[in-house]
Amino acid sequence: MKRSARAAAFGVLILGFGAAGMLRERTKAADRYSEADALYGALRTQPHTRLSIGGGEIDVVFADGAPGLDRGRILDWINASARAVTTYFGRFPVRHVGLLVVAGDGSRIGSGTTYGFDGSAIHITVGRSADTRVFQNDWILVHEMTHLALPTVPNKSDWLLEGNATYVEPIARAQAGQLDPTDVWRWSLEGMPKGLPQPGDEGLDYTPTWGRTYWGGAMFWLLADIRIRQRTENRLGVQDALRVINRASGGNTARWTVDQLAATGDRATGTDVLTALYSEMKGTPVPMDLDAVFEALGVAERDGKIVFDDHAPLAAIRRSITEPHAAVVVPVSSNER
């Protein structure tokens, strides 16, 4: 997921020529690896630390040594993020990924981008002043690692992948015991209305706006989860479909059609939910009564607090989606080269 550079652009506009020049130089240095060729080159040639977790290997490269970053803290954060996606998918989504960590200014974890055309790779920027709380609260790296799990689909259906990472990321963290379920549902309540069709919108394949891409896509996966669980008496969910899709494709280096992805997931659950829902939402701006969906799940916000109704019709489905999963027992090791 890419973050806006608007603040940096405004900074250049209001600074004097000398300061603006220095800012441009710092930005240029920070963005040195934002292009894919430079990213893959750094992953091939710079020293790396290898983490083994969930049956996958993560080669962590600190770009140009990443001066000012606490490597131990960052490796702990990468391990925690990898454990979340491993818990959700039952294993780490790919056999190998290169992860380039670029040192940046400030105290935030910045933008992340995931690539798959020359092997799985992730680029992420970390502020030198980021503290333990920032790493504990981070969602960006889990979002990017979730992108590793599904095959690449045609560009017009990018919402399927971005929506999947938006939907799965907080659930994976909750299942791994890293996030309270109330936060998962708070973000769903507050975020998913942004994905509803607006006047003039078409189906998800033909409306590439931010809201429809991320939250419209997340809404697709929530509805799929509910329908699969209803059809299977809550024995299976979209998680089961995604695990099979991940294993069949090998992850984000594969190139699939959406029909292929949906059919594979449907075979895993013995339903036609993904195929039917994609056909329903891809070309038509389907209105959704999200209030009714959340009421049926037993989720509401009152006086700023998330409250659950365990007597709601779909309360058992809500609990199943976010309940903690048994830890996946996997070897965790590291070595430097």
Shared-domain flag, residues 107 and 242:
no
**CA 266 to mean position of chain CA atoms:** 22
The reply to whether 331 falls in a domain is: no
CA distance 205 to 212: 10
- Rounded to the nearest 10 degrees, how much is the dihedral formed by the CA atoms of 91, 94, 96, 101? -90
Confidence (pLDDT) at 136:
95
Same domain, 16 and 39: no
pLDDT at site 111: 86
Range of the domain at 125: 31-148
Measured distance CA(238)–CA(220) in Å, rounded: 11
Q: Give the CA distances from residue 207 to residues 4, 254, 317, in Å, rounded to whole numbers and listed in that order.
A: 20, 25, 30
pLDDT at residue 336, as a whole number? 57
Exposure b/e, 173-195, CB count within 10 A at least 16 = b: bbbbebbebbbbbbbbbebbebb
Q: Residue 81: in which H helix or E strand, if any? A: helix 71-89
Judge if 66 and 188 occupy the same domain. no
Strands 56-62 and 121-127: unpaired
**C-alpha–C-alpha distance, residues 225 and 238, integer Å:** 5
Rounded to whole angstroms, how far apart are CA atoms 35 and 82?
24
Are 246 and 192 contained in the same domain? yes
Same domain, 310 and 220: yes
Number of domains in the chain: 3
Cβ partners under 8 Å of residue 56, min gap 6: 82, 86, 91, 92, 93, 94, 95, 96, 97
Q: Is residue 171 part of a domain?
A: no
Q: Do 139 and 94 fall within a single domain?
A: yes
Same domain, 291 and 308: yes
**Residue 229 domain flag:** yes
333, part of any domain: no
Describe the crossing of helices 217-231 and 158-175 by its angle, rounded to 10 degrees: 60
For residue 92, being part of any structural domain is answered with yes
Cα-Cα end-to-end distance for the chain: 29
Is residue 337 domain-resident?
no
Residue 317 and residue 186 share a domain: yes
Asked if 86 and 205 sit in the same domain, the reply is: no
Structure token pair of residue 289: 């009564």
- Residues contacting residue 14 through CB under 8 Å, at least 6 positions apart: none
What is the pLDDT, as a whole number, of residue 200? 96
Pairing of strands 121-127, 109-115: antiparallel
CATH number at residue 62: 1.10.390.10
Domain match, 107 and 82 both: yes
In this structure, are 73 and 123 located in the same domain?
Answer: yes
Side chain identity, residue 277: L
pLDDT of 326 reads 60
DSSP string for residues in 11-50: HHHHS-HHHHHHHHHHHHHHTTT-SHHHHHHHHHHS--EE
**Both 188 and 286 in a single domain?**
yes
pLDDT in tens, the chain (337 residues): 433 332 222 222 223 323 333 333 444 445 689 899 999 999 999 999 999 999 999 999 999 999 999 999 999 999 999 999 999 999 999 999 999 999 999 999 998 999 999 999 999 999 999 999 999 999 999 999 999 999 999 999 999 999 999 999 999 999 999 999 999 999 999 999 999 999 999 999 999 999 999 999 999 999 999 999 999 999 999 999 999 999 999 999 999 999 999 999 999 999 999 999 999 999 999 989 999 999 999 999 999 999 999 999 999 999 999 998 765 444 444 555 5
Residue 330 lies in a domain: no
Residue 286 phi, psi (nearest 5): -70, 120
